[in-house]
Each structure stands twice: as C-alpha cells, then as structure tokens.
Amino acid sequence: MSRREEITIAARALLEEQGEDALTMRNLADRLGIKAPSLYKHVSSRQEIETLLAAEALTEMGEVLGAENELESMGRAYRSWALANPALYRVATTRPLDRENLVEGTEDSAAAPLLEAVGGDRDRARALWALAHGLTLLELDGRFPPDADIDAAWRAGLS
C-alpha cells in the first residue's frame, strides 16, 4: 500500500470518527504517527486530501449504484451508502469538485449507472441526482418532521 493510500484511509477514519472539523493536517499526521511537515511530502494540502476522499466516495457510490438495475433500488442504495458514510458523503458532495486533480474518468464512472438507467438522458440523470442529494442532506441534517415518511418521499421522487 502506498503512503497516499495510507493517508486516505487515515483521513477517512478521522473524518468519520470525529467529523470534518477534525480533518486537519496536524490531526492526520498524529494519526499516522508522523510530524505534520512529513505529511506534506505526500500531499500538498487539506484540499488534496479532500479530493482523494471525494474520489474514493465517487468510486464507492458508482459501485453501489452499478450493483442495482432500476431507479428505486438505486435510490435505496445511494441513500444507504450516504447514511452509512455521512461525513465522507458531505466532503464528496457539498463543495466544488476538484475535477482538475481528480483521476480522469472517476466522475463519469460514478455517474454511469444512473445515466444508463435513464437511457442516457443527462438532464434526467442530473435531476434525479439532485433529488437524491437533496433528500439525503435533509435526512442527514434532521430536517424532516418526526412524522415524515422519508421512504415514501424517495419512492414518489424516483417514480
């Protein structure tokens, strides 16, 4: 395993255990048992670490979606993955994507299953992703009223 892979694994663990605010170069270096300046030999900044994490998230989301064959099951899979990985989900989806430094094809691979499910209609795929993303963030943020049937909202949106 490369040092960058070790850094990504440690950053993800730190992120999920302690949240976004804890994802600092100092905390990450401490977790890896090195001094912060040594970390800069392998990654240039927190932004680069977030790009590595976003790539990991996109890859996993693409795999989760690719394992399904219809929109409703894709929605359930997307939601389940996001709820199981809330901090990583936020890093990957709530800030600008550093496409310039993302491994080529990562974003397209993540989108491919949804795009295929809607017959290649990019506008419909984007609208469905926006719906799924909005529902997911509302749920993660506890914004639905206590009596809300979130499953019904997902079914209605995906139909």
Model-wide pTM > 0.85: yes
Whether 93 and 145 share a structural domain? yes
CATH of the domain at 16: 1.10.10.60
Whether 141 and 105 share a structural domain? yes
Task: Give the model's pLDDT for residue 159.
Answer: 87
Whether 28 and 98 share a structural domain? no
- Cβ distance 7 to 39 under 8 Å? yes
Helix axes 106-117 and 122-140, enclosed angle (nearest 10): 100
Task: Give the model's pLDDT for residue 147.
Answer: 97
Helix axes 122-140 and 150-158, enclosed angle (nearest 10): 170
Q: One-letter amino acid identity for 105? A: G
Whether 70 and 142 share a structural domain? yes
Whether 106 and 144 share a structural domain? yes
Tell me the pLDDT of the chain (159 aa) as tens digits.
Answer: 888 999 999 999 999 999 999 999 999 999 999 998 889 999 999 999 999 999 999 999 999 999 998 999 999 999 999 999 999 999 999 999 999 999 999 999 999 999 999 999 999 999 999 999 999 999 999 999 999 999 999 999 998
Whether 64 and 126 share a structural domain? yes
Closest CA to 50 of 91, 3, 1: 91
Counting the structural domains of the chain, the total is 2
Q: Which domain range does residue 57 map to?
A: 53-158
Whether 35 and 57 share a structural domain? no
Task: Give the model's pLDDT for residue 36.
Answer: 86
Q: Cα torsion for 40, 45, 46, 47, to the nearest 10°? A: -150
Task: Give the model's pLDDT for residue 69.
Answer: 87
Whether 32 and 57 share a structural domain? no
Whether 78 and 25 share a structural domain? no
Whether 86 and 148 share a structural domain? yes
CATH of the domain at 74: 1.10.357.10
Whether 30 and 77 share a structural domain? no
